[in-house]
Homo-oligomer: A and B are copies of this chain.
Amino acid sequence: MSTPPPRLSPTELAAYFAFTEVSSLLRHAVEKQLRDVGKLSYVQFQLLARLGDAPDGSQRMTDLADGVVYSRSGLTYQAQSLEERGLVTRGPSPEDERSTIVAITDEGRDVLAKVFPGHIEAVKTHLFESLSAGDVEMLARVMGQVSGHLRAEPPRSAGGRRRKSN
């Protein structure tokens, strides 16, 4: 009558629990470091990092929102906050008057630079410290496979179908 309950093997269960624990501890550590050193939330750091990586240090609001998976109003909120701190500027696009272009400032790059060493340190400590080179390679391969798979098929289970309808 009903579908059989889905199951996880003991190994899968162990992998899931350990994975969850590690990612949670890593995330907490990274968030604390960003807050303490740069007064940045994780989302704000992601936004700055994206802008820092962009060729001219700027992006449209919509493209930023898509990258971070975020509601547009949520992005407006964060962009305002970053602008008030002088870490980004916002201005209209020359090409499309509807668009707002967000650009990282020198101050923004300074904060990014200030935060970076500790960020890497936290990742080393909470993820790589106890792993061999082979382990790291393995991890890169397996995680790369999963993320590639997830990108390939927007998982249709557990919810709706669209990627980010907003």
Contact = CB atoms under 8 A, between A and B. Distances in A.
A28 to B, nearest CB: 8
B18 A146 contact: yes
A136 B33 contact: no
Q: Is the interface of A mostly helix, strand, loop or mixed?
A: helix
B158 A33 contact: yes
A54 interface: no
B29 A158 contact: yes
A6 interface: yes
Interface residues of A, number: 59
Interface in A141-166: 142-150, 155, 157-159
Interface of A: 5-9, 11-12, 14-16, 18-23, 25, 27-29, 32-33, 36, 69, 116-118, 120-131, 133, 135-140, 142-150, 155, 157-159
24 contacts: A5-B116, A6-B124, A7-B120, A8-B120, A8-B124, A11-B136, A12-B123, A14-B144, A15-B127, A15-B128, A15-B143, A18-B143, A18-B147, A19-B23, A19-B143, A22-B143, A22-B146, A23-B27, A25-B150, A36-B158, A121-B158, A127-B146, A130-B146, A130-B148
